[in-house]
């Protein structure tokens, strides 16, 4: 089973994606400054 955890703010979204029951982090990332100049997307995938 996999679990996606999302934290949404007014101008950003952060997430972590876990493989359970090992509690292994598969991926994490963020989207920042949504709707503004200089917005960005970051994604980091863990080596499997």
Count helices and strands in the chain by DSSP H and E runs: 0, 4
Helix (H) or strand (E) holding 20: none
pLDDT range class, residue 46, cuts 50, 70, 90 = confident
Residue keyed to tokens 């400054």: 33
Computed over every residue of the chain, the mean pLDDT equals 95
Q: How many domains is the chain built from? A: 1
| pLDDT tens digits along 3-18 | 999 999 999 999 999 9
Reading the block at residue 44, the tokens are: 């980091």
Q: Which percentage of the chain shows pLDDT scores above 70?
A: 98
Q: Could you list the residue range(s) of the whole structural domain that residue 23 is in?
A: 2-45
**Per-residue confidence band for 47, with pLDDT thresholds at 50, 70 and 90:** confident
With 0-12 CB in 10 A as exposed, 13-18 as middle and 19+ as buried, what is 19?
Answer: middle
- The answer to whether residues 39 and 21 touch, using CB atoms and an 8 Å cutoff, is no
pLDDT of residue 16: 97
């Amino acid at each position: 089973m996999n679990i996606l955890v999302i934290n949404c703010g007014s101008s950003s979204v952060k997430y972590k994606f876990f493989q359970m029951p090992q509690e292994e982090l598969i991926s994490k990332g963020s989207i920042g400054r949504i709707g503004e100049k200089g917005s960005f997307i970051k994604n980091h995938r863990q080596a499997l």
